[in-house]
Structure 1
């Protein structure tokens, strides 16, 4: 594999290269390896800049600069780094452009950086690939230890029942695999309601699924209805030890994460949303989280405003507001509060789904669990949460993060002159941001989850064992493809490709350098204080803010400080 890729390198080294990064202009030597672009500064006090090819989003080869005569390449990265590298010779610029294009636009996952990366020195921690054990984690919650209303099913042991679901998952004890076989035909991709979380306080649950296949004919499934009824009847009686549980007025919820119009629109495709006449003892709410295309467009607009490309490098605050990014986060956190309140205060069960149950569903379920269970706010627990709700339950990391890039993200404008070049660049950028013609599957779904976690860490600074730096590094490495953890779309693909035997786990990296990612304000006693909410967090969706550090910005550049001055005054 590496030998084949070396042939793609037209040039390995260019001297006297000028690099522009923000307001900095530096000179040095550019090195191209088969997995990284490396800029070595002439000034020995400056650190080298390493850019893994998978993190490169777009490259424009622009016309020669009238001021310097140099030939620039304008590079945008998925971690929001923007650099311009300029060479003295047009031939060198073309060779670098061609090499980056070929090495970025790989055709298979096994060609990505993770398959060549060897940590030096080796990681001191080794258990990353085994950090999540489904049986151990569900037993921790009480499945078949303190609560016998649930069982493990191996109906999906060979991934033929539901190719995107985990091999082992948890369903109500009273529901047989025969019922599951029928129920699977009624849920998109056979992603039936399965247990995500069993609440320590009252045995109320969060389950997750995909949409029901209702269609215009209003199809129904008795087996699906029985499965959900069994879920909603699974917790212990509302009276324990002769004392009533606070707020124990069961109001079980089906949470459809989509806007109503989106949910109803899916009827035309033979899918849709539950007909509540068929589901007793519960009600349905819509959270109105927009789809992946809206989120992709929103991030592009926010990124443009943050980077100030058309505002002399200054943040465009109006552009930030028009991106609607905070509005989307607000909806996610409001939805989280609805779920947390239902489970913890109202002693009720919540089933969450969107269309296929691997984007909006993963966001709402995992953020809610962070608020409900102090374990997930520990260093280890956060890793387990991501493994369970995102990796095991089949979030499409490869598709959503665009790990295999496309040559349409590379545009050569070197022969276009003057204003025509500027107009062409703007036209091209508009195409990138709308992304109507390529990679419609990409979307910042996991990025939004990390942003919501950042909001929680900011509002409750003593409740999390990990810090903001860990979140930023997670965002970076989801795109860098340096580790095998996030490379595939579902558990079945991972079992097929076995990255654990060929790549490093990101959790070994974090555990080996844990001291860099620990929050010094963390106070585990706060999570045990029953008077202070028993470790349950209720975020204030009105007090969200832009995640400045992710864009290498300062808070005062992007956030109106007086508006956010009271953040965190709730229970810490």
Structure 2
């Protein structure tokens, strides 16, 4: 049984944490050590600083910088404060104050983080102490700008489970009953020649030849042709994903593309039209014609019905999250909380994404029509909609390993641009490609788990650790923009998978209320009255905000897991002691009770 001890990357505030014992997340937490270190992690420098804590005021401490983390330990007797920040979380480092600054603690560094917090350190003005710390932090927080590897390529952690084996596309499609008489697996993209941002293995209509696929690819943005994501086990309707058609201002048509969509419609012998959900607002879809894109018009696609879902683009989402950060860190203004939250429009965007996914799921569950989903390029809003709809329709994806497969399949293998959206190891914090699309998806999953507390095998901590390591660069799971780039960099050979950490300690991430229901379709309520801000994620760094407490049963469950872990450890020690005694020549007759001390249990 795995330990239920909590790692440093968890949901509650690190502000007042003391160092823990060695835990099973691979981090050495020896109390005698100045800083916990992972295998492959090396200490670069340490320095005495003043941490300007936004909640408790200035705190004198020593900061340690490794090639993976920034670690601060308080030097004050009345404060046990510890900060443990993976350098991958850092978005921006700025110098605060100048040589002539005279105010107390006005000279130092301001650090902006990607996980809803900022850090501020004051340093002495003499001896270039700030310059040294700034240069070292910049070098290791943004290794790509300094021709250094991301930490994931230096990480030497070993786990008893290999997370890279979790997702096998052939096995996952076989689980769905594919290939069948209407759908086939094609290796046309084996060398990523058809589409460099798609996976090597694709599922396409049986009646479409590889030559047909090549012709369709010329009419879809980035060659991202319509391919199958999921098939309903009974009514055989499907969810298909792709990018926008290249219609342009002149209203171009492509007979191969039109025929291909008709073939998709006919795979389950449906008489009704193929339903196309375009994730964009209609105004944006029309505007995209000016850059060569567009949407499927009624004139060209007679057997298709098009609906716009009004989900805004990556730039709108980025600005919305910035506003959320402004209202949650460092201070929460209680008197204007509701109006401030409303002004961010964050929950409004969550609502639109969930509403769109519900429409996709409902259409497929009804058996009336297969569904094609796209946005502009088919790697942001499209991934949100297909993966959430699949989560609603297929209970397998609500298990821990099923969810990992869903993320690997719909996000990682189908080319969500993690490197561009997160900016791993990149110093360009103003990059217009940065956007919290994957965070938004995880938020939607959390909203669903709140409404269906028994439907998911995983708990909130599971979602939070995924988000923490989305940024940390400790694992190779979310690195690079697409499968072809990961293969070139040999990511599965040279890095550790996040699923190795999670699956070697599964008990910690299990929901004790989980009830497996195979055929249950989940339809969350996507109204503003039923959506809430995820306090345990967005406001976890603020010790003044009471965290949403876990259910007492869940809390007791975690306590019992910890207790069980201690008993197992004690039993192993006793067995070792016993075997040592048995190997020694006996000096006097002894009974088993002499050799095995009585262990008291507290379960009853």
TM-score bucket of the superposed structures, by smaller chain: 0.7 to 0.9
Counterpart of 2:172 in structure 1 is: 137
From 154, 171, 179, the counterpart of 1:116:
154
Task: Name the SS of the counterpart of 2:184 in structure 1.
Answer: strand
CA offsets per residue over residues 172-195 of structure 1, 9 Å max, x none? 101111111111111011100000
Distance 1:181 1:157, change over 3 A: same
Partner of 1:297: 319
Offset from partner CA, 1:318-362 (integer Å, 9 cap, x none)? 332111001101101110111111000243200000111000000
Q: Is it true that 1:198 corresponds to 2:231 in the alignment?
A: yes
Secondary structure of the residue aligned to 1:38 is: strand
* Partner of residue 211 from structure 1, selected from 235, 244, 265: 244
Alignment coverage as a number of residue pairs: 500
CA distance in 2, matches of 1:177, 1:258: 30
Indicate if the aligned counterparts of 1:202 and 1:236 stay in contact, CA closer than 8 A.
no
Is 2:400 the counterpart of 1:379? yes
What is the CA–CA distance in structure 2 between the aligned matches of 1:314 and 1:447, rounded to whole Å?
27
1:224 aligns with 2:257: yes
Map 1:452-491 onto structure 2 (within 5 A): 452-491=444-483
Structure 2 CA distance for partners of 1:16 and 1:392, relative to 1, 3 Å: closer
Deviation string for 1:375-414 (max 9, x for gaps)? 00001100000000001111000000011322x65xxxxx
Whether the 8 Å CA contact 1:546–1:559 is kept in 2: the answer is: no
Give the secondary structure class of the aligned counterpart of 1:337. helix
Aligned: 1:27 with 2:72: no
- Alignment of 1:546 with 2:584, yes or no, is no
Match 1:98 to one of 86, 110, 135: 135
Residue 288 in structure 1 maps to residue 310 in structure 2: yes
Partner of 1:51: 85
Shift of 1:544: 1.1
Deviation at 1:317, TM superposition (A): 3.9
Which residue, out of 490, 497, 513, partners 2:489? 497
1:366 equivalent among 379, 387, 398: 387
Helix, strand or coil at the partner of 1:381: helix
Corresponding position of 1:340: 361
Aligned partner of 2:418 among 391, 397, 417: 397
Structure 1 gap segments, 5+ residues each: 1-8, 238-248, 410-437, 529-533, 561-572
Q: Normalising by structure 2, what TM-score?
A: 0.78
Q: Paired residue for 1:75, among 111, 114, 119?
A: 111
Distance in 2, matches of 1:269 and 1:262, equals 11
**Are 1:265 and 2:250 counterparts?**
no
SS in structure 1 at match of 2:122: strand
| Cα distance in 2 between the residues matched to 1:319 and 1:558 | 19
Among residues 315, 326, 335, which one is paired with 2:347 in the alignment? 326
Distance apart, 1:11 and its partner CA:
7.5
Equivalent residues of 1:70, 1:88 under 8 A apart: no
User: Hey, what does 2:123 align to over in structure 1?
Assistant: 87
Deviation at 1:26? 3.5
In the alignment, is the contact (CA less than 8 A) between 1:17 and 1:30 conserved in 2?
A: no
Comparing 295-304 with 91-100, greater Cα deviation is found at: 91-100
Contact 2:327 2:333 in 1 (8 A): no
Secondary structure of the residue aligned to 1:280 is: coil
Question: Do the aligned residues in 2 keep the contact of 1:72 with 1:86 (CA within 8 Å)?
Answer: yes
Alpha-carbon RMSD across the aligned residues, in angstroms, is 2.7
CA 1:391/1:359 → structure 2, altered by over 3 Å: closer, same or farther?
Answer: same
Q: Determine the C-alpha separation between the residues in 2 that align with 1:47 and 1:372.
A: 45
- Check 1:69–1:402 CA distance in 2 against 1; reply closer, same or farther (3 A cut): closer
Contact 1:15 1:30 in 2 (8 A): yes
Note the C-alpha offset of 1:41.
2.9
Length-normalised TM-score, structure 1: 0.82
Tell me the CA shift for residue 557 of structure 1.
Answer: 5.9
Could you say if the C-alpha distance between residues 258 and 549 of structure 1 is closer, same or farther in structure 2, counting changes exceeding 3 Å?
same
Residue 482 of structure 1: SS of its match in structure 2? coil
Larger Rg: 2
Report the equivalent of 2:70: 37
> 1:535 aligns to what?
520
Kindly provide the CA deviation profile for residues 451-501 of structure 1, in whole angstroms up to 9, marking residues without a partner as x. Answer: 100111111110000111111111111111110011110111011111111
- 3-state SS of the aligned residue for 1:206? strand
For residues 14-59 of structure 1, the C-alpha deviation after alignment (integer angstroms, 9 at most, x for no partner) is: 1254351533653321112233211123369947422222211223
Among 274, 293, 296, the residue aligned to 1:252? 274
